[in-house]
Structure 1
Amino acid sequence: MTTDRILIARIGAAHGIRGEVRVKPFGDDPLSFADYGPLQTADGKRELTVASARLQKSMVVTRFEGVNDRNAAEALNGTDLYVARQALPELDDDDEFYHADLLGLKAVASDGELLGTIVALPDFGAGTLVEIRPAGASSFYVPFTREAVPRIDISSGEVTIVPPEDHADEESGEAGA
């Protein structure tokens, strides 16, 4: 499953009184989101052009063209920013991919058992996780590491997952028994 737009950053809180905002980038290079031209909101109704961006701790303090005061900056809080896929560089390595390409893929165990579908790749601060939702059951998470996710085959639509040791117990309701 591929999409024509890729989520590249999320706008956070206002920074100061002159229209700057904190931005959480989702790429390897934290300043790269500023290199792809106008960024679109999730609904595609608004484009934002980066006027300036600078690193400050784990965030990027950013000024967008036309956002000149704190009120305008505060109105952007929580806005997801997308870039057209064709604006991004081609991936050279088979081990490289965009997270958006993993969403909707089947998660299978090494023995071929279907575990569910990949629905998200959140990062709550301790590293990226793969959220897997089994049919008719609650989601579970595995770390996005080579040990827990040893094979990604986008062309076949499958990702091999090594579930946590207690995964079978949790599914059968025996956890903590």
Structure 2
Amino acid sequence: MRPATVVIGTIGRPHGTGGAVHARPSGPTLATLGPGDEVEVRPREGEPRTLVVTGRSGMDRSPILAFAGIGDRAAAGELTGAVLAVVEDRVRGLDDPDTFFVRDLVGCEVLLGDRPLGPVTEVFSGPANDALQVAAEGGPVLLPFTADAVIDLDVPGRRIVVRPDLLGDDGP
């Protein structure tokens, strides 16, 4: 059985002609990668594969990575848009009790007061606060993930309750 993996970023455009790529982190783990580390690369099309990091430059928020076996711009271009993941044990825990991994929120059932709304399908990071995308019956709904909007949060129980008046009287 394959170990569980966690997404830590995505691959952007190629950098130069030697096979390096820009990467976009989705959390702090990508900043800790260095030569010798293994990552799972999941392209938009095709099978996932394991690559070994051979070089790293740039800054933590916008690293440039090189991988064994990716030796030119064309090969790097084929990775554009691929998701980067590492084994779950590689991701450090969270120190703040009010901070959550996206993987812990996706799939949680959202209730509008006592009325079921739907499951969280995605979490969007914003400048002021994060937003939860919920698969409501009438289509996707974005909800602020704030202390004002969320009245009960039970991550182990996979349940998030938001204010019943959050979407107005005519909400979905």
Instruction: Specify whether residues 35 and 57 from structure 1 end up closer, same or farther in structure 2 by C-alpha distance, changes over 3 A only.
Output: closer
Asked whether 1:152 is paired with 2:130, we answer: no
Aligned CA RMSD, in angstroms, stands at 3.0
In the TM superposition, residue 155 of structure 1 has moved relative to its aligned partner by: 1.3
Q: Which moved more, 1:27-36 or 1:48-57?
A: 27-36
Q: Deviations over 1:8-64 (max 9, x none)?
A: 110011111111111111113651354993111348741122222233595222112
Contact in 2 for aligned 1:31/1:54 (Cα 8 Å): no
| Letter matched to residue 20 of structure 2 | E
Q: Deviations over 1:119-177 (max 9, x none)?
A: 1113477763210112x320111233333345432111112334785454353xxxxxx
| Letter matched to residue 55 of structure 2 | S
Report the equivalent of 1:95.
98
Contact in 1 for aligned 2:21/2:76 (Cα 8 Å): yes
Contact in 2 for aligned 1:122/1:130 (Cα 8 Å): yes
Given candidates 73, 77, 97, the residue that maps to 1:74 is 77
Given candidates 24, 44, 49, the residue that maps to 1:46 is 49
- CA distance in 1: counterparts of 2:164 and 2:15, whole angstroms: 41
Q: Which runs of structure 2 are paired with 1:10-159 in the superposition (5 Å)?
A: 10-28=10-28, 31-34=31-34, 37-42=37-42, 45-56=48-59, 58-109=61-112, 111-123=113-125, 128-134=130-136, 136-149=137-150, 151-159=152-160
- CA distance in 2: counterparts of 1:125 and 1:153, whole angstroms: 25
Q: TM-score normalized by structure 1? A: 0.76
| Letter matched to residue 10 of structure 1 | T
Instruction: Specify whether residues 149 and 5 from structure 1 end up closer, same or farther in structure 2 by C-alpha distance, changes over 3 A only.
Output: farther
Gaps of 5+ in 1: 172-177
Aligned residues between the structures = 167
More strand by share: 2
SS in 2 for 1:71: helix
Report the equivalent of 1:175.
none
- CA distance in 1: counterparts of 2:35 and 2:89, whole angstroms: 13
Gaps of 5+ in 2: none
Q: TM-score normalized by structure 2? A: 0.78
Contact in 1 for aligned 2:22/2:65 (Cα 8 Å): yes
SS in 2 for 1:169: coil
- CA distance in 2: counterparts of 1:79 and 1:114, whole angstroms: 34
